[in-house]
Amino acid sequence: MSTTPLCIHYHRDFDGMVSAAVLACALERSTGERPGWRSVNYDQREDWHAFEAGKRFAIVDFHFHPRAEYWFDHHPTTFLSEELRARYAPNDRWHWDAASPSCPPIILRHAKEHWGQEPTERFREMAHWSNVIDAARFTSVEQAVFGEEPALRIMRALTVAPTPDWVDTVVAGMVELDLAAVASRADVEKAYQRASKNRDKALEQFPPTVLWKKDDVLCYDASSDRIRRERFAAFYHHPDIHYSVGVIPTRSGFHVSAGENPWNPPPERAEANGAHIGTIMERYGGGGHKAVGGANPPSLADARRVAAEVADTLRAALREAR
Ligand SMILES: [Mn+2]
């Protein structure tokens, strides 16, 4: 056994960070080892086979790697190839559960079953909020947009991380403290204030992007890179809609994003009439789940056309379901 320290690589979002903190504490309790941690970025998938060659590592809330000493994830798209899929079987160091709303509950359950550890109150609270945030189980659109609970302040602060390694210091906070204490840290509070201003600006800038609203479907074009975006702005301004479909810019082009309104879901039978966003997006080279999905058409004109077609498909499904 090598004596180099173990590094936990984690997805750079709220549930990924909680996952890193939970695993770091669980490993220290079960093996006495104090691992380090660092967030993974998507560019590191490029040469996934060679990832951290010769080093000891764990991965949480991110793609499966056969050399990971410990690995836990809930993403259905975790396996980058069939060959990698074939290398996975659950064991005392790896667990994948695509039905879990977020990753931390998988690790807490695993630590209990395999390492005999009862989850602490602190980590149970973090796991609860990981589920809320990752599966968009906010009680209302107001909570999603303006929620001031510690977990939600941290979630929003993460949207304006001052440096790429800042999240590592927030994980250090999660290892030691509860959510209220992490959210009260001066750097987290400062980021939260800045992120809240961005949110207010985004909410203000949304209405002029709306192209139309028909049959409880809203279509918008936020392709200008001068527009700030807020994930739930459409449902905040239009709580009566069932779906929003829009065009947004990406680093290298444009993205069509579609989603069900979590606080005003479409009738159950709409799905039988074709309202499955992931399936619709697959026709345009994209994907997703029933309730949310997207595609990246090659040009802005294509993105606008795809958004209109997807919105029309959803309208038709809703009309059929009435
Ligand atoms: Mn995640």
List the one residue out of 60, 81, 77 whose CA is nearest residue 69.
60
Whether residue 218 is found in the same domain as residue 132: no
Q: Report which of residues 125 and 251 the model is more confident about.
A: 125
CA 286 to centroid of ligand 1, rounded, Å: 20
CA 238 to centroid of ligand 1, rounded, Å: 28
Nearby residues for ligand 1 (ion, Cβ within 5 Å):
11, 13, 15-16, 61
At 231, the pLDDT band (50, 70, 90 cuts) reads very high
CATH number at residue 174: 3.90.1640
Domain for residue 60, yes or no? Answer: yes
Domain for residue 165, yes or no? Answer: yes
Whether residue 41 is found in the same domain as residue 173: yes
The answer to whether residue 86 scores a pLDDT higher than 90 is: yes
CA 17 to centroid of ligand 1, rounded, Å: 8
Phi and psi torsions of 59, nearest 5°: -130, 135
- Residue 203 CB contacts under 8 Å (≥ 6 apart), including other chains: 145, 230, 233, 236, 237
**How do residues 167-223 score in pLDDT, each as one tens digit?**
999 999 999 999 999 999 999 999 999 999 999 999 999 999 999 999 999 999 999
The answer to whether residue 315 scores a pLDDT higher than 80 is: yes
Whether residue 161 is found in the same domain as residue 24: yes
Domain for residue 197, yes or no? Answer: no
Read off the pLDDT of each residue in 252-259 and give the average, rounded to a whole number: 95
CA 11 to centroid of ligand 1, rounded, Å: 5
Q: Report which of residues 165 and 322 the model is more confident about.
A: 165
At 272, the pLDDT band (50, 70, 90 cuts) reads confident
Whether residue 113 is found in the same domain as residue 239: no
CA 132 to centroid of ligand 1, rounded, Å: 12
CA 288 to centroid of ligand 1, rounded, Å: 15
The answer to whether residue 1 scores a pLDDT higher than 80 is: no
CA 293 to centroid of ligand 1, rounded, Å: 16
Strand ordering across the sheet containing 70-73: 36-40, 7-11, 57-60, 70-73, 94-96
Provide the token pair at 31.
């093996």
Whether residue 222 is found in the same domain as residue 179: no
Whether residue 149 is found in the same domain as residue 183: yes
Three-class SS of the chain: CCCCCCEEEEECCHHHHHHHHHHHHHHHHHHCCCCEEEEECHHHHCCHHHCCCCCCEEEECCCCCCCCCEEEECCCCCCCCHHHHHHCCCCCCEEECCCCCCCHHHHHHHHHHHHCCCCCHHHHHHHHHHHHHHCCCCCCHHHHHHCCCHHHHHHHHHHHCCCCCHHHHHHHHHHHCCHHHHHHCHHHHHHHHHHHHHHHHHHHHCHHHEEEEECCEEEEECCCCCCCCCCCHHHHHCCCCCEEEEEEECCCCEEEEEEECCCCCCCHHHHHHCCCHHHHHHCCCCEECCCEEEECCCCHHHHHHHHHHHHHHHHHHHHHHC
Domain count, the chain: 2
Whether residue 305 is found in the same domain as residue 242: yes
CA 148 to centroid of ligand 1, rounded, Å: 21
Read off the pLDDT of each residue in 67-94 and give the average, rounded to a whole number: 96
CA 322 to centroid of ligand 1, rounded, Å: 36
Residue numbers of the domain that contains 227: 206-321
pLDDT at residue 77 in the model = 85
Read off the pLDDT of each residue in 286-306 and give the average, rounded to a whole number: 94
pLDDT at residue 42 in the model = 78
CA 14 to centroid of ligand 1, rounded, Å: 7
- Distance, C-alpha 126 to centroid of its chain: 15
Phi and psi torsions of 161, nearest 5°: -50, 125
CATH number at residue 286: 3.10.310.30
Domain for residue 232, yes or no? Answer: yes
Domain for residue 193, yes or no? Answer: no
Domain for residue 226, yes or no? Answer: yes
Whether residue 255 is found in the same domain as residue 184: no
**How do residues 16-47 score in pLDDT, each as one tens digit?**
999 999 999 999 999 999 999 999 987 888 89
Whether residue 142 is found in the same domain as residue 268: no
CA 191 to centroid of ligand 1, rounded, Å: 20
pTM: 0.91
**How do residues 126-182 score in pLDDT, each as one tens digit?**
999 999 999 999 999 999 999 999 999 999 999 999 999 999 999 999 999 999 999
The answer to whether residue 240 scores a pLDDT higher than 60 is: yes
CA 60 to centroid of ligand 1, rounded, Å: 9
pLDDT at residue 125 in the model = 98
Contact between residue 214 and residue 179 where contact means Cβ atoms under 8 Å apart: no
Whether residue 48 is found in the same domain as residue 127: yes
CA 10 to centroid of ligand 1, rounded, Å: 8
Contact between residue 135 and residue 119 where contact means Cβ atoms under 8 Å apart: no
CA distances to 218, 223, 234, 238 from 205, in Å: 16, 12, 11, 14
Domain for residue 201, yes or no? Answer: no
The answer to whether residue 301 scores a pLDDT higher than 80 is: yes
CA 309 to centroid of ligand 1, rounded, Å: 30
Whether residue 171 is found in the same domain as residue 23: yes
Mean confidence (pLDDT) of the chain: 95
Of 1-5, 200-204, 246-250, 288-292, give the lowest mean pLDDT range. 1-5
Domain for residue 195, yes or no? Answer: no
Whether residue 163 is found in the same domain as residue 95: yes
Query: What's the length of the chain?
Result: 322
pLDDT at residue 116 in the model = 97
pLDDT at residue 146 in the model = 98
